[in-house]
Chains A and B, each alone.
Chain A
Amino acid sequence: MGAGHAHRLHRPGTSRVHTLPPHTKLAAVLAFVVVVVSTPREAMWAFGLYAVLLAAVAGVARVPPGFLLRRLLIEVPFVAFAVLMPFVAQGPRTEVLGLSLSVSGLWGAWNVLAKGTLGVAASVLLAATTPLRDLLLGLQRLRLPSLLVQIATFMIRYGDLITDEMRRMRIARASRGFEARGVRHWGVLAASAGALFIRSYERGERVHLAMVSRGYTGSLPVIDEVTASRAQWSRALALPVAALAVCLLGWTL
């Protein structure tokens, strides 16, 4: 994929995390998130250790902390929800700064905040160290149905194009003096969405014909088969294994 398709979250690099095969990274992140989610929420220190583990990975990958923290902002809507939890949950209540808060609600808010933040941070690290095309190859390597991977490939490949088409439509509307201010203008915007659908669908038909004329028979040839050595697997799985140890400690202590 050309330079124009690099996604905003990706930070090119040559670190040891960057060069790991994509499917090992995907498996590691998925296992890590599952381990984090199954940790008991009372073991607060465990989540601190998880954060330290992720920080170590970020250090090895040379992803600056500021970049990581800015990307965590995507969580904000759920932080708002988590802040509400202590006020609406049931159970015994406690006094904090003169406010009556539910104990189980506080635990729930902590649970969602800690696990959600760690999950987002792990995904951000994965996306920051892996180019798009490699992510798709990794998904294919992890035995995702090939049709699904193809659909995802086309979505990624044409996503920027369709988004740009939408942006050009907006510029065209604006240059004709249109400004969407309220519900009354939804008709115009919906007509644009309809036009966008027709253009996308027709582009899909053209893409299909172009592919057929180049010998497409229903499956895309895999020319860059990715493989992982045992050392690479063990390096990638170091993160979830360490997390698993922390999780088991959290259950037993």
Chain B
Amino acid sequence: MHVPDGFIDAPTSAVTAVVAAGAVAVSLRGARRELDERTAPLAGLVAAFIFAVQMLNFPVAAGTSGHLLGGALAAILVGPYTGVLCVSVVLLMQGVLFADGGLSALGVNILDMAVVTTVTGYAVFRGLVLLLPRGRRSVTAASFVAALVSVPAAAVAFTLLYWIGGTTDIAIGRVATAMVGVHVLIGLGEAVITALTVAAVIAVRPDLVHGARGLRRPLRLRVGGEPVDAPEPEPAAPAARSHRAVWITGLVTSLVLAGFVSFYASAHPDGLEKIASDEGIDEKAREHAASDSPLADYGVKDVTDARVSGGLAGVIGVGATVVAGSTVFWVLHRRRRGGTSPADTTAPDA
């Protein structure tokens, strides 16, 4: 599924490269937290594992065979941040060394196959593990569903990117149907293999599986014939980390998306608008109450250039959203500080 050069146009490739770089930067920080100073050798070896396991052929029937993509598997085995990092490095090396996937499409490939599969897979996995009863079976079942969802999710992400910056105007519905249809089948294979692999690792070394950390049982000692729970070792206090980098990355990304990418997106009506105009639904739609506000229909009044107007409206919209969101958080934070917050009660007296 490696996207070659020329599939997605240059501006979209540039923006996805920036977004992918941001995601990799966040993962670098996160991976240091997951693996501390062992990051380089362990993530490197896991990347080598992903690279090797992608070459392991699983025969389907009559000469055809499939292989693992590995995004969800990496996230479950070593954690989401390290997983994103490992798959990204594999993609980078495949692009530079084996000419597999275009260099200009590297951002698209990383965003699609490393970030979307891994993050979606891990989110689904975490959610299911929390919902299902504790146990090895639940972890296996959760990895099945996580891998099953992660592959079509990547297909949907690719379809979105293709819609924004594709170089051929194939009906987006057709692309979506074909991509998702094929990838649900691939996802089924991926799900079976991922679940079996995770089960095999859990059977031998459950402590290595990042997603199965909740399964660890407390150590029980026999003191004078009586079984006693051993005292939990004090977990190291997590280092205070600032959210500033995440904040700035997020803000810049949203501004770029809203101000720049929207040039390329807003030219076409979105799916709902299209269907609405095709089916004549929008004839009945009444103009929104805010239709003569200064930002109506994602454009700034009195700015004639459609692109600048759309971009400006996007940037102003992001700004307003940030201000509103920050106000809500600030108010909630103040209120929690005012009452007894859980942080206060658990804080040591000293």
Contacts and interface: CB of A to CB of B under 8 A. Distances in A.
Contacts, number: 260
A177 interface: no
A229 B110 CA distance: 33
Interface in A78-129: 78, 85, 88-91, 104-105, 107-109, 111-112, 114-116, 118-120, 122-124, 126-127
A21 to B, nearest CB: 16
B52 A196 contact: yes
Please classify how large the interface on chain A is, using the bins under 10, 10 to 19, 20 to 34, 35 or more. 35 or more
A74 interface: yes
Contact of B4 (A38, A116, A182, A203): A116
Interface stretch (B55-63, B242-250, B252-260, B279-287): B55-63
Interface string B149-171: 00000000000000000011111
A105 B93 CA distance: 32
Interface stretch (A12-20, A51-59, A205-213, A230-238): A205-213
Given A161-B48, A198-B205, A204-B46, A186 B192 contact: yes
Nearest to B201: A194
B197 A108 contact: no
Interface string B1-31: 0001111011001000000000011001001
B44 A158 contact: yes
Contacts of B104: 30, 33-34, 36-37, 119
A211 B58 CA distance: 36
Contacts of A153: 40, 44
A152 B98 contact: no
B176 interface: no
Contact of A186 (B28, B58, B78): B58
Q: What is the interface of chain B mostly: helix, strand, loop, or mixed?
A: helix
A193 B170 contact: no
Given A116-B4, A152-B92, A193 B193 contact: yes
A156 B44 CA distance: 8
A207 B123 CA distance: 31
A193 B200 contact: yes
A189 B56 contact: yes
Nearest to B209: A197
A86 to B, nearest CB: 9
A223 interface: no
Given A9-B97, A36-B5, A163-B51, 20 more contacts: A74-B100, A85-B170, A88-B174, A104-B168, A118-B5, A124-B99, A127-B96, A148-B24, A148-B28, A158-B44, A159-B48, A162-B49, A162-B51, A190-B196, A197-B197, A200-B45, A200-B46, A201-B46, A208-B41, A218-B37
Rank and list the top 10 A-B pairs by shortest CB-CB distance, nearest first: A154-B44, A115-B6, A108-B168, A194-B200, A119-B5, A190-B196, A204-B45, A116-B4, A123-B99, A150-B40
